[in-house]
């Protein structure tokens, strides 16, 4: 993804100070100063920088962890990378030092997933759509209306069924799944000037819907009556402005965080498919850790997963408030309209059977995963 990341950092003078501190003391110290309220204190900055350097030097193991997102993006996009760093370092009693590389510094999308797989870096965050070429089974989540709601997704990815059927197929590709999390369900977001509010699938007839290369998402929008149009993520804003595409489907938080605020006319909350991600580590690196640290690593991952799901309603509200203030209209389908979406596009349709067999191995396995999605798990998602 090559879109600029919208930052929640103050624009000035704190923003200028943040970058000044970054240049002098490093990004980690600048983030600690921003969150700790000592951005303007030279003595505290020097102490924090020294503490961070000492912590890195004393650690027995180091982990480079990379994402596409700014460290402060969690305000509008519930990606908790700084929290994971803090959790792992604390639980390991600083035996593991985590060095963050945010904002796409070490790559994005498939390129980042490749680096994790190769062990060039020890871990990172990747969307499941971008990860699906490496382990196609995760693309099951892009079949509509079986795990699109946040609670369903949380139930699914913490279940014995998921960890028994899906996780081994990810591990064999060289990844240690740390945890899965959701940004929010995908939407149907329409460009300015389109002039039509999407309420039901029939409203998408002939609509040029921007999609990634996912065959599943393409089939979804064909079932809805739209014309799926594959557009690279970095080219999506210009495609919308030029009318090459009429809409796109990221979650509300993603639409705000990636800067679509001046491009959109309306957003329909269809709750079809999760806009999901995974924190993953290189499997060989994880296996090289002593067993006690592996347990601490898993505990830190579990803690961060819970924090990620808890952040969803906060991030959604911040994003929704900003998008609404810009004049973008939100629409929630009625129960009768939601039924039309499910009947027209949902997983129960025969058109999805071959994909279920291909990705899950059988319809029976898919049904087991579906049952898990509808069985309450250890995480409760608010809103």
**End of a domain among 291, 311, 331?**
311
Please tell me which residue, 18 or 228, carries the higher pLDDT value.
228
In this structure, is residue 381 part of a structural domain?
A: no
pLDDT of residue 3: 45
**Is pLDDT of 251 > 80?**
yes
In this structure, is residue 5 part of a structural domain?
A: no
Same domain assignment for residues 47 and 108? yes
Same domain assignment for residues 155 and 200? no
pLDDT of residue 12: 59
| Proportion of the chain above pLDDT 90, given as a percent | 79
pLDDT category at 6 given cuts 50, 70, 90 is: very low
pLDDT category at 30 given cuts 50, 70, 90 is: confident
pLDDT of residue 9: 44
Judged by average pLDDT, the poorest of 119-133, 178-192, 319-333, 345-359 is 119-133
| Proportion of the chain above pLDDT 70, given as a percent | 96
Instruction: Indicate the number of domains in the chain.
Output: 2
Within 201-329, where are the H helices? 215-224, 236-241, 252-257, 283-288, 291-325
Same domain assignment for residues 221 and 110? no
In this structure, is residue 382 part of a structural domain?
A: no
pLDDT category at 86 given cuts 50, 70, 90 is: very high
In this structure, is residue 29 part of a structural domain?
A: yes
**Is pLDDT of 271 > 50?**
yes
pLDDT of residue 103: 87
Same domain assignment for residues 338 and 304? no
pLDDT of residue 4: 40
Highest mean predicted confidence (pLDDT) among 10-19, 30-39, 47-56, 77-86: 77-86
Range(s) of the domain holding residue 211: 188-273+320-373
**pTM for the structure as a whole:** 0.89
* Alpha-carbon gap, residue 209 to 249, rounded angstroms: 8
Q: What mean pLDDT comes out for the span 17-25? A: 83
Judged by average pLDDT, the poorest of 64-68, 132-136, 138-142 is 132-136
Same domain assignment for residues 110 and 198? no
Same domain assignment for residues 331 and 285? no
pLDDT category at 137 given cuts 50, 70, 90 is: very high
In this structure, is residue 58 part of a structural domain?
A: yes
Same domain assignment for residues 341 and 260? yes
Nearest alpha-carbon partner for 217 in 352, 112, 50: 352
**End of a domain among 265, 287, 311?**
311
Same domain assignment for residues 21 and 105? yes
- Report whether 342 contacts 145 (CB < 8 A): yes
pLDDT of residue 26: 78
- Compute the half-sphere exposure of residue 137: CA atoms within 13 Å on the CB side of its CA: 20
Tell me, what CATH number does 293's domain have?
3.40.190.170
In this structure, is residue 383 part of a structural domain?
A: no
pLDDT category at 233 given cuts 50, 70, 90 is: confident
In this structure, is residue 102 part of a structural domain?
A: yes
Same domain assignment for residues 215 and 90? no
pLDDT category at 152 given cuts 50, 70, 90 is: very high
pLDDT of residue 53: 86
Mean pLDDT of the chain: 92
In the beta sheet, which residues pair with residue 124?
66, 280
Q: In terms of residues, how long is the chain? A: 383
pLDDT of residue 24: 84
pLDDT category at 218 given cuts 50, 70, 90 is: very high
- Report whether 183 contacts 77 (CB < 8 A): yes
Q: Could you give the angle at which helices 353-360 and 363-373 cross, rounded to 10 degrees?
A: 90
Same domain assignment for residues 121 and 205? no
pLDDT category at 11 given cuts 50, 70, 90 is: low
Q: What mean pLDDT comes out for the span 100-126? A: 93
Same domain assignment for residues 335 and 354? yes
In the beta sheet, which residues pair with residue 191?
264
**End of a domain among 285, 311, 337?**
311
- Report whether 374 contacts 152 (CB < 8 A): yes
Q: What mean pLDDT comes out for the span 207-212? A: 94
* Alpha-carbon gap, residue 110 to 267, rounded angstroms: 28
**Is pLDDT of 10 > 60?**
no
Highest mean predicted confidence (pLDDT) among 108-112, 133-137, 311-315: 311-315
In this structure, is residue 380 part of a structural domain?
A: no
Same domain assignment for residues 233 and 244? yes
């Amino acid at each position: 993804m090559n879109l600029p990341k919208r930052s929640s950092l103050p624009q000035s003078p704190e923003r200028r100070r943040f970058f000044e501190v970054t240049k002098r003391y490093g990004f980690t110290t600048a983030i600690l100063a921003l969150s700790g309220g000592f951005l303007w204190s030279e003595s505290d900055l020097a102490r924090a920088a020294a503490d961070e350097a000492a912590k890195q030097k004393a650690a027995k193991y180091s982990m480079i962890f990379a994402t596409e997102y700014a460290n402060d993006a969690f305000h509008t996009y519930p990606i908790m990378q700084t929290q994971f760093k803090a959790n792992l370092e604390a639980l390991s009693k600083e035996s593991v030092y985590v060095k963050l590389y945010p904002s796409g510094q070490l790559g994005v999308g498939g390129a980042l997933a490749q680096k994790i797989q190769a062990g060039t870096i020890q871990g990172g965050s990747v969307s499941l759509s971008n990860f699906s070429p490496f382990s196609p089974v995760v693309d099951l989540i892009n079949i509509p209306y079986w795990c699109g709601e946040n609670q369903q997704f949380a139930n699914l990815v913490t279940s014995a069924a998921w960890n028994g059927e899906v996780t081994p197929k990810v591990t064999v590709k060289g990844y240690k799944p740390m945890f899965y999390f959701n940004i929010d369900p995908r939407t149907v977001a329409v460009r300015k000037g389109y002039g039509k509010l999407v309420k039901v699938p029939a409203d998408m007839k002939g609509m040029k819907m921007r999609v990634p290369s996912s065959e599943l998402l393409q089939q979804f929008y064909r079932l809805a009556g739209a014309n799926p149009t594959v557009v690279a993520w970095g080219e999506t804003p210009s495609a919308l402005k030029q009318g090459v595409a009429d809409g796109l489907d990221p979650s509300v938080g993603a639409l705000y965080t990636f800067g679509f605020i001046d491009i959109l006319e309306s957003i329909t909350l269809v709750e079809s498919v999760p806009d999901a991600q995974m924190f993953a580590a290189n499997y060989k690196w994880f296996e090289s850790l002593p067993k006690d640290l592996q347990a601490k690593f898993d505990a830190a991952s579990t803690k961060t997963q819970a924090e990620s799901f808890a952040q969803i309603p906060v991030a959604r509200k911040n994003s929704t408030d900003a998008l609404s203030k810009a004049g973008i209209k939100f629409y929630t389908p009625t129960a009768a309209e939601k039924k039309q979406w499910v009947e027209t596009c949902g997983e129960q349709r025969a058109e999805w059977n071959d994909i279920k067999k291909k990705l899950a191995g059988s319809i029976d396995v898919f049904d087991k995963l579906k049952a898990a999605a509808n069985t309450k798990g250890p995480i409760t998602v608010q809103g």
